Chains A and B, each alone.
Chain A
């Protein structure tokens, strides 16, 4: 019997130093806490 199901295997770029092109501001919809939501890598589009 399966006791475990993986729904999301995790961010593949965990160790990546990053390109720095992503959004990092409160720009999109929220002016109080900006970093949850729309966690998108612009270079994976």
Chain B
């Protein structure tokens, strides 16, 4: 890894933002420092400044050189690449995606799960299977577990959700461990009685909704073809005030709503405040597919989203970069835990590396009733960190995604090691916007940087 591959500089909103890739340190530098930086990174002698800057600017360029050099000495610029021989904790099973229903009352046009059936017969999980999955999870040495009730549509099997949640909590308490529960629903059948039961379950809820009425109805019709916006929106607005911060509204944007910030504005207008809005992943050729040609427009959308977050504060899941309690190096290098720390279980008990592989026989690891049959799949996924993904090793965002989504890599490139290019580009845009937002928030709170040239210029420009 060269020094040049261990930093990333981008500019937006009058700020030059410099990231030290291995540590994730973030600096704001002015234009002079931005011009000095490549020379320092290339290992040039300081005398090069005499040739590169007009005489009047040389004293400040010298000063910028010293200040950047000090960052390097402190270990927050050009820091060395760490190496990790294994996943944190060795890769124990910690999370379960329980497909309690392979059926759905919607027919979303972009559904990766074949509108809920995952390519098989429509079916529900019984409690014996859910219990066996929970027992398998709790047999690992982890201390904190996660279980997501997923589908299809899990509300079609709410009795089993309730029974399983109670069992998991009882087991966790008996074992002295912690279990976090979530449920992902389209909200269509979430009537008053169901809402009461969900609130009583005391779990985190992910509510799927695509924003503006026309957008939502175009992508998320009911099984009979009728629009679902009114019913779902009414149900979501009825339950959200009872959930506090224990919810996210989760949308998908497609080629039909590349201006997805309009959908987030719509959610804000509805009074919602916690969102996730993610790009659809579809094979090329669909009228909803996103393409590389969409990137410049989408880039602008992410910048607009960051500005909107400054203007009308809300929580956007993928802007949540926790600088106070950030993760350790090994975790950031290893990325998604699919197939190792995270598995999905189908209604018949079939075990798969994650929800996106469910229904694909070649990726079946085993069955909760009969045990693990194919250990080689776990071995394959165990190796999937950034060190084994060549494309990631030169990417500045590698410690922000840990190598990206394995399923997307497989579906687009038939390779777990070759990341999904469009997804990578979008992730980098989103990460820059997230960092920009954090920097703006930090600068507005910090008045001690009085003579910082870049900030002054920025403030004057406002």
Do the beta carbons of B206 and A5 come within 8 Å of each other?
no
Task: Kindly state the separation between the CA atoms of A27 and B96 in the bound complex, as whole angstroms.
Answer: 8
Task: Kindly state the separation between the CA atoms of A24 and B263 in the bound complex, as whole angstroms.
Answer: 28
Within 8 Å CB of B401, what residues of A?
33, 35-36
Asked if B455 is at the interface (CB within 8 A of a chain A CB), the reply is: yes
Report the contact-size class of chain B (Cβ under 8 Å from the partner).
35 or more
Within 8 Å CB of A13, what residues of B?
326-329
Given contacts A5-B455, A22-B88, contact A32 B94 (CB under 8 A): no
Do the beta carbons of B94 and A24 come within 8 Å of each other?
yes
Do the beta carbons of A32 and B84 come within 8 Å of each other?
no
Interface of B is mostly: mixed
Task: Kindly state the separation between the CA atoms of A28 and B326 in the bound complex, as whole angstroms.
Answer: 16
- Of the candidates B25, B250, B278, B449, the one whose C-beta lies within 8 Å of that of A2 is B449
Task: Kindly state the separation between the CA atoms of A10 and B335 in the bound complex, as whole angstroms.
Answer: 18
Tell me how many residue pairs across A and B have CB atoms closer than 8 Å: 240
Within 8 Å CB of A42, what residues of B?
144
Do the beta carbons of A27 and B453 come within 8 Å of each other?
no
- Of the candidates A9, A18, A40, the one whose C-beta lies within 8 Å of that of B89 is A18
Do the beta carbons of B29 and A20 come within 8 Å of each other?
no
Do the beta carbons of B405 and A3 come within 8 Å of each other?
no
Q: Which residue of B lies closest to A20 (CB)?
A: B89
Do the beta carbons of B88 and A17 come within 8 Å of each other?
yes
Task: Kindly state the separation between the CA atoms of A34 and B427 in the bound complex, as whole angstroms.
Answer: 11
Interface stretch among B63-71, B211-219, B230-238? Answer: B63-71
Do the beta carbons of B148 and A39 come within 8 Å of each other?
no
Interface stretch among B155-163, B302-310, B435-443? Answer: B435-443
Interface stretch among B186-194, B316-324, B368-376? Answer: B316-324
- Of the candidates A1, A21, A23, A28, the one whose C-beta lies within 8 Å of that of B451 is A1
Given contacts A4-B29, A41-B325, contact A26 B442 (CB under 8 A): no
Do the beta carbons of B320 and A4 come within 8 Å of each other?
no
Do the beta carbons of B281 and A16 come within 8 Å of each other?
no
In the complex, how many residues of chain A place their beta carbon closer than 8 angstroms to a beta carbon of chain B?
43
CB distance from B178 to the nearest CB of A (A): 9
Given contacts A17-B84, A36-B318, contact A27 B97 (CB under 8 A): yes
Asked if B248 is at the interface (CB within 8 A of a chain A CB), the reply is: yes
CB distance from A6 to the nearest CB of B (A): 5
- Of the candidates A4, A5, A19, A38, the one whose C-beta lies within 8 Å of that of B88 is A19
CB distance from A25 to the nearest CB of B (A): 4
CB distance from A28 to the nearest CB of B (A): 7
Task: Kindly state the separation between the CA atoms of A9 and B73 in the bound complex, as whole angstroms.
Answer: 13
Interface stretch among B47-55, B118-126, B287-295, B337-345? Answer: B337-345
CB distance from A32 to the nearest CB of B (A): 5
Asked if B26 is at the interface (CB within 8 A of a chain A CB), the reply is: yes
Do the beta carbons of A38 and B79 come within 8 Å of each other?
no
Do the beta carbons of A27 and B148 come within 8 Å of each other?
yes
Do the beta carbons of A41 and B320 come within 8 Å of each other?
no
- Cβ contacts A to B, 8 pairs, < 8 Å: A1-B60, A3-B30, A11-B24, A17-B86, A27-B95, A28-B206, A35-B401, A36-B400
Interface residues in chain B, defined as those with a beta carbon under 8 Å from any beta carbon in chain A: 18, 20, 22-30, 32-33, 36, 60, 63-64, 67-68, 71, 75-76, 79, 82, 84, 86-92, 94-95, 97, 142-144, 146, 148, 150, 180, 182, 184, 204, 206, 248, 250, 276, 278-279, 281, 317-332, 334-338, 341-342, 354-356, 400-402, 404-405, 408, 423, 427, 430-431, 434, 438-439, 442-443, 449, 451-455
**Lowest 7 CB-CB distances: which A-B pairs, in order?**
A20-B89, A18-B88, A24-B337, A10-B23, A10-B25, A25-B342, A18-B330
